Structure 1
Amino acid sequence: MLIALACLAALIVCCGLAWWQWQRFESASGTFQNLGYVLQWPLFGLFPLFMVWRFRRLAQQRRDEALPAPEPVAAAAEPVTTVDAVKPAPVEHFDDPEDAELAAYNRMLAELNARDGR
């Protein structure tokens, strides 16, 4: 409650200062700098309210993060086969061992992708 009163007081004071700057702008010695202050003072008055809102939002996020998340129940996944367990393609013959390893790895990825599609 005290914070709300402080925010309201800041808004009232800053709006009063904006009114004062508006009167200065309309006077013979007024400049566009006074007009700029007319636009800035209400924003200065709203800033404490924004900060209270922001602090409360951050506190709520911390409380939400502190709560343990329920663990989702998932179906048991099929065991993942390793590169060695993948059946080699009968047509492929490689002279370079790196290409054979790459091909086996790609076959394993294709098998995992097909399993995800099921």
Structure 2
Amino acid sequence: MFRSLLTPRWLLLHALFVLATVATGFLAVWQWDRAHEAGGSFQNLGYALQWPLFGVFTIFLWVRLMRMEAHRDRDEAEPEAAEAAPQEEAASQVEAKPTVHRKRPLVPPPAPPVGAEDDPELAAYNQYLADLNKSDRRAS
């Protein structure tokens, strides 16, 4: 699980996140010092308080990405484990899943056809699409 977090791609990401977190810390200290100088303002003080929040968000994002990677590895390992198990156990696992009853279908029913008397422009367009569909089926 943690081996995937030691690949060259992830080592580069770890370095980037550490660098970003340290940079936000330095920027916070710099803005804090700037706010207390003679030319400092409340804007500098606001930035001094914002930079640590950016650092916390960087750490949050880092942890979140690592968890997503671990979850992805776990999902990829489950099918391999299911293939290694006997077919009888796999059949019992499939039967154990609860069935989901939907209140409405996933695909809505088709709309009623539009005649030339209802909307001639729409009827002509629908006929054009039907002709394209027929010619596409003949070509394949």
Q: Normalising by structure 1, what TM-score? A: 0.47
